[in-house]
Amino acid sequence: MHYVELVAMLAIVQYLFFGAMVGRARGRYGVKAPAVSGHEGFERAYRVQMNTLELLVALLPALFVASRFWPATWVAGIGAVYLAGRFVYWRAYVRAPSSRALGFALSMLPLLALVLLALAGAVLR
């Protein structure tokens, strides 16, 4: 099985899921497009989606470059921690943004690890 590719596609599916949650929040809180502000519940869902997009731009290349130099199971495992972290972040942020620290750490630390692995692999090989 191609674990790295699976993690990459799950990251895209996760992002699309967060986008669907933004659409749902638009309806629930009456925030009409193209507005990106209004009810706090909508804004929380929107920020989760946008923050995920911001990290996705770094995750995907780091995931694929790291997988060129290191075992795919390691890289995919680190990516899986990122995915779990994003879900923890989402649940915490929509409930109480001040409680997002664990989800943020479980997203950022794996991302930083992948970037460092990609850099190390590129420099050392």
Question: Domains of the chain: which residue ranges?
Answer: 3-120
pLDDT of residue 95: 97
pLDDT of residue 76: 98
Neighbours of 10 (CB within 10 A): 15
> What digits encode the pLDDT tens for the residues 13-53?
999 999 999 999 999 999 999 999 999 999 999 999 999 99
> What digits encode the pLDDT tens for the residues 51-104?
999 999 999 999 999 999 999 999 999 999 999 999 999 999 999 999 999 999
Mean model confidence pLDDT for the chain: 97
Q: According to CATH, what is the number of the domain 3-120?
A: 1.20.120.550
Tokens 């390691």 appear where? Answer: 74
The pTM assigned to this predicted structure is 0.95
pLDDT of residue 1: 65
Report how far residue 72's alpha carbon sits from residue 34's, in angstroms, rounded to the nearest whole number: 41
